[in-house]
Structure 1
Amino acid sequence: MNTDEEYTAYVSGRLLWLRRIAYALCWDWHRADDLVQTTITRLYVKWRHAREAADLDAYVRVILVRIFLKEQRAGWFSRTRLSAAPPEAAARAEDADLAMDLHRALDRVSPRQRATLVLRFHCDLSVEQTAAVLGCSTGTVKTQTARGLAALRVLLDVVATKEDR
């Protein structure tokens, strides 16, 4: 199998996985598709080096998260965000309210905290793995996780308090 065929086989098998991670980062399916497209394009350019990585999934996840964070810093997100759209797949009725509240709360934490929370709890990475993806120390990951969770608790508590009224 030549390198292009290897690349195509890998990307075909991991496209939905990448899309789910991208959606968890940005909460917009269209933007998630853009993030994935940029990620697989960058992966293609680096494929000869990437295919030799000890953990190719981890390598690609790093590319995806770094693209997301770069766009957040560059202001792309604030310039192109038009509106929030409902998710393509309907959530179960009992989970819909919680999912919407969580979505709103995650949207209000910083991009770095959101990336940390997604990597730790959605991708189930360890502190060390998350630090490697984000290119920071384990202490920073712990701090970002604690601050992100504290912010989510406050935001979700505010939502619960409003619903009790």
Structure 2
Amino acid sequence: MHHDRDFAAYMVARWPALVRTLVLLGCGQPHAEEVVQRSLSRCYLDWRRVRESDDIDVQVYRSVLDTLARDSRDRADMTDTADDGPEPDRTDAELVRDALLEALDGLDDQRRRVVVLRYAAGLDERQVGDLLELQVEVVEVTLADALERLDMPAVWGASR
């Protein structure tokens, strides 16, 4: 019973960050939610081992990224491309999000993952390194380089 409560508390606390991480990595919202749901289901089945690991977040994000990688081999395009007609008025937050996604599209996969895992997922450099199997120094250099490449003033200026 404690096992279920513990997992449920973790899931509720981390769900938004997990989904947001995948969206920023290029997934459409529905696909991101599906990937997170399947990943958390796998983690639940093995929760005792995940819980006893050195870093629960690294284990869960590894499951999420592995599920995403499996999906990307099966899908030609991870983003939603359906044309739903004219675009409705968008909020400032949506404009900034879209500008951020466009800026992130300009990064290679490794830089994008490092930035998203560090800032959107809230993992520290050691956790990002563990997850991506990189030395902390490589994470730090990659992060600094990626941040130089991102045009953040343009992202923040995307709002009205």
TM-score of the superposed pair, with normalisation by structure 1: 0.67
Instruction: Tell me by how many angstroms 1:43 deviates.
Output: 0.6
From 132, 135, 138, the equivalent of 1:134 is: 132
Q: Which runs of 4+ in 1 moved over 6 A?
A: none
CA 1:109 to 1:55, structure 2 compared with 1: closer, same or farther past 3 Å? Answer: same
Give, in whole Å, the separation in 1 of the partners of 2:44 and 2:113.
23
Q: Which deviations, in whole Å up to 9, do the C-alpha atoms of 1:103-134 show, x marking residues without a partner? A: 11213322322111012222333322210121
Give, in whole Å, the separation in 1 of the partners of 2:78 and 2:61.
24
The equivalences for 1:33-72 within 5 A come to 33-68=33-68, 70-71=69-70
What residue is the counterpart of 1:163 in the other structure?
Answer: none
Instruction: Tell me by how many angstroms 1:19 deviates.
Output: 2.2
What residue is the counterpart of 2:147 in the other structure?
Answer: 149
Aligned residues: 151
Give, in whole Å, the separation in 2 of the partners of 1:77 and 1:148.
27
Instruction: Tell me by how many angstroms 1:4 deviates.
Output: 4.7
Instruction: Tell me by how many angstroms 1:50 deviates.
Output: 1.0
Compare the two structures and name the one with the higher helix fraction: 1
CA 1:84 to 1:62, structure 2 compared with 1: closer, same or farther past 3 Å? Answer: farther
Give, in whole Å, the separation in 1 of the partners of 2:30 and 2:65.
16
From 112, 115, 119, the equivalent of 1:117 is: 115
Moved more, 132-141 or 144-153: 144-153
CA 1:101 to 1:59, structure 2 compared with 1: closer, same or farther past 3 Å? Answer: same
Secondary structure of 1:51's aligned partner: helix
Q: Is the 8 A contact 2:7 2:47 kept in 1?
A: yes
Q: Is the 8 A contact 2:28 2:80 kept in 1?
A: no
Q: Give the RMSD, CA atoms, in angstroms.
A: 3.4
Give, in whole Å, the separation in 1 of the partners of 2:77 and 2:19.
22
Give, in whole Å, the separation in 1 of the partners of 2:35 and 2:44.
14
Structure of higher RCO (CA pairs closer than 8 Å, 6+ residues apart): 2
Residue segments in structure 2 that go unaligned for 5+ positions in a row = none
TM-score of the superposed pair, with normalisation by structure 2: 0.69
Identity of aligned residues (%): 24
